[in-house]
Chain A
Amino acid sequence: MATRQLSRSALAGGTNHEGFLRHRNFRWLKIAGGLCLVSIVAYLLIDQKPHPNGGSAYGYTLGTIGALLILWLTMLGLRKRAMTRGRWSLKAWTSAHVYLGLSLIIVATLHTGFHFGWNVHTLAYVLMMIVILSGMYGITVYAALPRFLSNNREETTQTQMLDTLRSLDRQLHDAAQPLDAGAAELVRRSLEDNPFGGGLWQRLSGNYPKCPTRIAQLELRRMARGMRSSVGADPLEKVDMLLERKESALTLIRQHLRYKALLEVWLYIHIPVTFALIAALAAHIISVFFYW
């Protein structure tokens, strides 16, 4: 029916719309699963003398595969940032990164032959497991959180959220002029509060127990109760309304920042530990060959 050429959508990947976990019908899950299966079967079939260890031919093979995988997995960081031409897709890379990374649990564990000790070899293993565990957290939040991030922001952008806050602050500043010193001090604290402030825990939990805006609102309400209320004309009422609006704006942006933090925080473990892992891995490899 449509006579316009449809080749364009084919060019763009069109409606082939799958997330990184399902990419190409779980292609990398299958490949990684196959790698694990082969490793396990070989572990059971090959009789390693005197006992399973990294120094056997089988052990060297797994070790080489593991080390190369670790280096290749690290390259994702480079791939993501180097916008070169060509028919690659970062989604495919992520998909491979996830499944091959998980397969390292099997490959590297079998490589150890279950020998652990207080040495650089086990250190490398532990670091690797930390990287993988943080990565598993990453997969979980990537799968679960985006829709909450989207629902929470409801078409407002972070810039717009900050603009709203700024404009409310300006209005608060003006509205607080007629207040007495005590009340003005409360409002001033709310104005000086930085929405990006607070520690890591507050950012991740979304709980801000000492939020100056909420305190100011509670205190002002307490003060207002003692006074006669002249509806509408009361400056306290206006400030109260503005504080209320500011609080809901703060809730929105704090929730937004919380989701973003939850989506990002693991990278602060995943990436530095990766570099530590590579250093430990280098030490492990050099020492193994040195003491051959």
Chain B
Amino acid sequence: MAEAYRVAIVGSGPAGLSAAARAAQLGISHVLLEKTDHLSDTIYKYQKGKHVMATPSQLVLRSDCDFDAGKREAILDVWNRQASEQKINVRYHSEVVKIGGVAGAFTIALKGGAEIQAEAIVLAIGTQGNPNTLRVPGVETNTVQYQLDDPGEYVDEHITVIGSGDAGIENAVGLAADPEQRNTVTILNRSADFSRAKDANVKLLFSMRDAGRLTVMTDTAPNLLEEGFITLDTRDGVAKIPCNRVIARMGSAAPRKFIEECGIEFTSPDREAFPKLSPVFESTNAGIFVIGALAGYPLIKHCMNQGYDVIEFINGNRTLKPADEPILEGKFKDLPGRRGVEYWLEFLRDNVAILEELSPLQMREFMLDSDVHAVRKGEVVFERNAPGSSLFGIASGGVRIEIDPRDPTRAVPVRAGSVFGEVGLISGRRRGATVRASEDSILVEIPRNAALKLMASVPAAKRALARISVERQLLQIFGSGLGPGDLAEVVNSSEIKSVKAGETIMNEGEEGYDIYVIRTGSMIVEKTIGGKPVFLSYLPAGSYIGEMALIEGGKRTATVRAGIKSEVIKISGEAFKALLAKRPNLLEKARADMATRQDLNAFIEAKKDSFSGVVDMYSSVAGFLVQNGIGEATDVLLIDENLCVGCDNCEKACADSHEGLSRLDREAGRTYAHLHVPTSCRHCEHPHCMADCPPNAIHRGPDGEVFIDETCIGCGNCQRNCPYGVIRMDKVPPKKPSLLSWIFFGRGPGPGEPSKKWSYAHAKGGAEQPKKAIKCDMCSGIEGGPACVRACPTGAAIRVAPEAFLSVSRLERIEG
């Protein structure tokens, strides 16, 4: 006769253990099935001495087992002790291979042939048993591992950690922590920021990097593994570094096959989708409940709360509210019509497209980070140029985006289900337009970090957002009277492609008439003349290219390659042609754009014999500038060293225009052909400094300047993230005596940045001044524009936008 229980709990992690503890407390007959010989294998396998965190901090813990942030060993000790004190019935070495039967009479087959009967089953097996694997050539023959038990075991190795989550960061930090081990550790992140990881972990990682203990490579993906080496695609091209061991921590997915065999459906066919669950964690196979990481909850606190709750539900407690209920009640209390939390969560999920695939439980967590607003008709949601980077979803009602600041009647309607404010997620610019409710609406406001997390964890949300932003970008570019309806086919045919630095998207002489829109990054257009590539022009994000072959027919007339890692929207030529046929004024606009390019081609062709030396010179100068980050700049300070007398008046003017600190270093930086790129902000198209700013203090102003506002906490992340070293951390010096009193009485340090000594001697008493991040703000708000340029006595300092500077029209000037 098989063992029979009221509840069988599969998996003894935080979720399963907490469930078993609740069952034991309630006196329910239960069994906790664990496939290994110890409790909580995932945490057991954490790195030795790992500090386990207790996030999210606003969530209340409700469980019969205790848990607090602390060392892995201490936490496991507490659980082991409490498991035996509470007389939890644990059955070790019990790996479940099959679940059969129906609610009330399930049969669980164990490895080894034993069977267990249970009325209800709680699946709490997590996802760690099924890690995402690395898929690059060479994985089979080289050392690749998906977990790390004791970082102390490895010495004298070149180790590459792949993964931007907590596990990857903790492994990398662990391996590099002891310099005696002499490991060379590199951590790779495919994207620019570590949005999936906990804040404290990211800080620790960056501090280790600054101490020179490990290397952090963002925007980088592995490409090839070879004996002793790994080849990487970085933002600036391909790199090959020594590597003896790869530790891949790229997340994990549910063991889907097994779960589907249990009769449980998933929300979507995506690899990272979660099982469909009711609010009481019941799966589509009645009687089987799913909790913990398998339900989409990787955090320990959530897991433990769910373990408690699920047993209460199974025991017939229908009035139990989740532990986070009071927090959510607070968020929903101002909405019309006295409805419960459940109702609103369901309402938002059903009505906002990007939230559709969240499970009810993910939805709860999502709402803990987000806010919901009821706005009246005509009320302004946000103003043009207001700072803010949150994303808004419209659950009911609708808004109008006022595209023309002078004429509020010109507006684009956005209806329920859609989102707005998505531009903030991409570039962190200020709001580009005022948005006003066109009827009474309910809006959900998702902070930038929560939205990034949503996109990272729900692929469908990412796709939906990408589609919306492609549509809006195309509307913005092709503008002239188009509506979303016209673009439907174009958007459907489009795909977003990521292009590595230096990779081409079209080659001269090639067939093809697809159109490319540059979404992020920038492109360089080249033409081969006399066997050498000649730089034709530079295309910033927001430009499109490829229309010439489409309209005129024929082959590609130039080669287009990425200046830095970029994303392009590829639009099928067929679909675009159909659109052009429907909209003659669009065709006209495209023809006008094309004409300027044809002129340029003709110009180059005509000039190539007469001054090929100058063309060469121009091409190599352009190449130098792109190498120095001008390719991602929007506005950059250049110094013509044929004119610069080294007076440093630019630095002094900068300091005197900005509370006494200079934001540029004239002498430092690269020089080519007497063109000097000083250390000063380039106002990147996609600023690296914005990637990880805890108070979200870095914004883009109306003139394109990237600036840091007064909420800066001085953490230094932006300084570390800037690849050009243009951000400094410093204290604001005390106010200097006036210029006239310096001239006539010699009082104070004179123009420019005061010396440290003077600042120290004249510092106001009392509290120590905090250091803050200081960078160029393009003298925004100062009449007359950038002080460095105004204060240059010889005209050596110029500020340029790359698209204006890197164009062939410059050739004549160079020649002249």
Chain A residues with a Cβ under 8 A of chain B: 1-4, 6, 8-9, 11-15, 17-20, 23, 78, 80-83, 85-91, 93-94, 142, 145-147, 149-150, 153-155, 157-159, 260, 263
Contact = CB atoms under 8 A, between A and B. Distances in A.
B787 A2 contact: no
Contact of B795 (A3, A80, A91, A153): A91
A20 B794 contact: yes
A2 B537 CA distance: 10
Contacts of B796: 19, 146
B687 interface: no
B739 interface: yes
Nearest to B705: A8
Given A12-B799, A87-B783, A146 B644 contact: yes
B640 interface: yes
Given A1-B593, A149-B646, A85 B783 contact: yes
B676 A14 contact: no
Contacts of A6: 801, 803-804
B804 A9 contact: yes
A63 B107 CA distance: 114
Given A1-B539, A149-B646, A8 B635 contact: yes
A146 B641 contact: yes
B739 A82 contact: yes
Given A2-B540, A20-B794, A86-B783, A81 B674 contact: no
Contacts of B794: 19-20, 91, 94, 142, 146
A59 B166 CA distance: 85
Interface residues of B, number: 65
Contacts of A90: 649, 790-793
A2 B477 CA distance: 9
B8 interface: no
A263 B641 CA distance: 14
Contacts of A94: 793-794
Given A15-B804, A81-B751, A89-B790, A2 B795 contact: no
A15 B540 CA distance: 17
Given A14-B801, A82-B739, A150 B676 contact: yes
B800 A4 contact: no
Contacts of B643: 19-20, 146
Contacts of A145: 645
Nearest to B473: A3
Contact of B674 (A19, A23, A93, A147): A147
A146 B798 contact: no
Given A4-B543, A15-B804, A155 B792 contact: no
Given A18-B795, A142-B645, 16 more contacts: A4-B803, A12-B789, A13-B789, A15-B809, A19-B640, A19-B795, A23-B795, A89-B789, A90-B790, A91-B795, A146-B645, A146-B794, A147-B642, A150-B644, A155-B670, A263-B645
Interface in B646-674: 646, 649, 652-653, 656-657, 665, 667-671, 674
A270 to B, nearest CB: 13
Given A4-B542, A155-B670, A263-B646, A12 B801 contact: yes
Contact of B799 (A13, A155, A158): A13
The 6 A-B pairs with the shortest beta carbon distances in the complex, nearest first, are: A150-B641, A12-B799, A83-B656, A157-B667, A9-B804, A9-B801
Given A11-B785, A13-B789, A1 B810 contact: no
22 contacts: A4-B540, A4-B542, A9-B635, A11-B785, A12-B799, A12-B801, A15-B805, A15-B813, A17-B640, A17-B795, A19-B640, A19-B796, A20-B643, A20-B795, A83-B751, A87-B783, A88-B784, A94-B794, A146-B796, A150-B671, A155-B671, A157-B665
Nearest to A85: B783
B593 A12 contact: no
A149 B641 contact: yes
A80 B597 contact: no
B800 A150 contact: no
Interface in B366-390: none
Nearest to B642: A147
A260 B790 contact: no
Nearest to A10: B804
A125 B809 CA distance: 48
B167 to A, nearest CB: 40
Nearest to B540: A4
B447 interface: no
B57 interface: no
A13 B537 CA distance: 20
* Residue from B596, B642, B656, B794 whose CB has the most chain A CB atoms within 10 Å: B794
B542 A88 contact: no
Contacts of A14: 800-801, 804-805
Nearest to B752: A81
Interface of B: 476-477, 537, 539-545, 593, 596-597, 634-635, 640-646, 649, 652-653, 656-657, 665, 667-671, 674, 676, 703-704, 739, 743, 750-751, 782-787, 789-796, 798-801, 803-805, 809-810, 813
A15 B811 CA distance: 12
Nearest to B637: A12
Contacts of B782: 85
* Residue from A89, A149, A158 whose CB has the most chain B CB atoms within 10 Å: A89
Contact of A86 (B656, B784, B799): B784
Contacts of B646: 146, 149, 260, 263
Contacts of B657: 83
A90 B786 CA distance: 12
A19 B785 CA distance: 19
A209 to B, nearest CB: 27
Contacts of B676: 150
A214 B801 CA distance: 49
Contacts of A15: 798, 800, 804-805, 809-810, 813
A6 B674 CA distance: 26
Contacts of A8: 634-635, 703-704, 801
A8 B476 CA distance: 19
A80 B791 contact: yes
Contacts of A82: 739
Contacts of B641: 146-147, 149-150
Contacts of B783: 85-87
* Residue from B537, B539, B804 whose CB has the most chain A CB atoms within 10 Å: B804
A156 to B, nearest CB: 9
Nearest to B676: A150
B800 A1 contact: no
A81 to B, nearest CB: 4
A60 B703 CA distance: 51
A12 B785 contact: yes
Contacts of A158: 667
Contact of B790 (A11, A88, A146, A159): A88
Nearest to A87: B784
B803 to A, nearest CB: 5
A89 B785 CA distance: 10
A255 to B, nearest CB: 13
Contacts of A91: 792-795
B109 to A, nearest CB: 63
Given A15-B805, A86-B783, A87-B784, A9 B542 contact: no
Contacts of A146: 641-646, 794, 796
A140 to B, nearest CB: 12
A258 to B, nearest CB: 12
* Residue from A3, A80, A83, A91 whose CB has the most chain B CB atoms within 10 Å: A83
Given A8-B801, A17-B640, A87-B783, A3 B477 contact: yes
A150 B641 CA distance: 6
Nearest to A155: B671
A102 to B, nearest CB: 17
